[in-house]
Amino acid sequence: MADRIVVLRGGARDGNTLTVAPEVTRVIVASEAPGLVDIYEDTGEQTQVRGNDQPGVVYDFVGQEAASDEHLQVLHRPMTGRPQ
């Protein structure tokens, strides 16, 4: 199955987009706060993403956690695209 576009909502990465495998329901990204990661979870909502025919799936900011070795292995790098 093809990757899907994710739109992050809330937190410091509000509006950033990235692509993930369809089975990913939780996204972990580096936080602006030292030693922490930001956590985003799938809401099931969709939104249009400028420049893409495929809608993006909205992932809401649900909080922060202390960065661990496990987190560092699965970090995502958000792009800077914004939804329409």
Span 46-65, pLDDT tens digits: 999 988 888 999 999 999 98
Q: How many whole angstroms separate alpha carbon 14 and alpha carbon 37? A: 14
Which of 37, 42, 45, 35 has its CA nearest to residue 63? 37
Determine the pLDDT at residue 44.
Answer: 95
Determine the pLDDT at residue 20.
Answer: 92
Q: Give the domain range for residue 27.
A: 4-74
Percent of the chain with pLDDT strictly greater than 70: 80
Question: Per-residue pLDDT averaged across 11-33, rounded?
Answer: 90
User: Among 22-26, 51-55, 58-62, 69-73, which stretch is predicted with the lowest mean pLDDT?
Assistant: 69-73
> Looking at the whole model, is its pTM more than 0.85?
no
Residue 60 lies in a domain: yes
**Total domains present in the chain:** 1
Q: What is the identity of the amino acid at 41?
A: E
**Residue 82: beta bridge partners?**
none
Assign residue 70 a region (left: φ > 0; alpha: ψ between -120 and 50; beta: otherwise): alpha
Residue 59 lies in a domain: yes
Residue 81 lies in a domain: no
Residue 37 lies in a domain: yes
Residue 82 lies in a domain: no
Residue 83 lies in a domain: no
Residue 62 lies in a domain: yes
Determine the pLDDT at residue 36.
Answer: 87
